[in-house]
Amino acid sequence: MPFLPSLEHEAKVPHAMAKFQNGTQRPIMLFHEALLRGESPFTVKERELMAAYVSGLNACQYCYGAHTAVAELFGVPKQLITDLVADFNQADIDDKLKPVFSYLRKLTLTPTRMTQADADAVYDAGWSEQALYDAVQVCCLYNFMNRFVEGLGLTPIPDQFGMEGQMIVDGGYEGMLEAFDIK
């Protein structure tokens, strides 16, 4: 049940943004669009996997469910996401991605303990500074969104994750601006 009494029980992020428009909603959604759909050394699939992973680490069931659904629609097996959250070292991902997910985990769970060695591991795997920058931004965005969702008390409704995921795949994040009349 949302903590804001004027929101319906099944309200989603776009519903809250549409109701409480204060000028921040459009930039947040455009940031999503640019970061998750724009140019990057990472594929859209990999960036959505990162969003689901960070949300899983934070135990944000709403974002974890929605972005797991999006990642699945881009071809990521659901079991892989579950395995990553449980233990990324044992998950069946490309070895080149393991230092990236290690970085995301540490930045999410113990951000003040980041070191040059963490960044160097990403570079040593063959990733560029742009890749590290993009991974950090995805991590930061989903730590923000997880706290936004949890702070508003938005209710995860597992039966709707597939529909939400399809909406994101079909219209992107920018499409939500029009669909929910967000100014």
Task: For the chain, report the end-to-end CA distance as a whole number of angstroms.
Answer: 25
Cβ atoms of 99 and 125 closer than 8 Å:
yes
Specify the pLDDT at position 183. 81
Q: How many Å apart are CA 52 and CA 48, to the nearest integer?
A: 6
Confidence (pLDDT) at 9? 92
- Nearest CA to 44 out of 63, 71, 64 is that of 71
Mind listing the pLDDT tens digit of every residue in the chain (183 residues)? 899 999 999 999 999 999 998 999 999 999 999 999 999 999 999 999 999 999 999 999 999 999 999 999 999 999 999 999 999 899 999 999 999 999 999 999 999 999 999 999 999 999 999 999 999 999 999 999 999 999 999 999 999 999 999 999 999 998 888 888 888
Tally of CB atoms within 10 A around 89: 11
What kind of fold does domain 23-178 have according to CATH? Answer: AhpD-like (1.20.1290)
3-state secondary structure 78-110: HHHHHHHHHHCCCCCCCCCCHHHHHHHHHHHHC
Q: What is the pTM of this model?
A: 0.95
3-state secondary structure of 6: coil
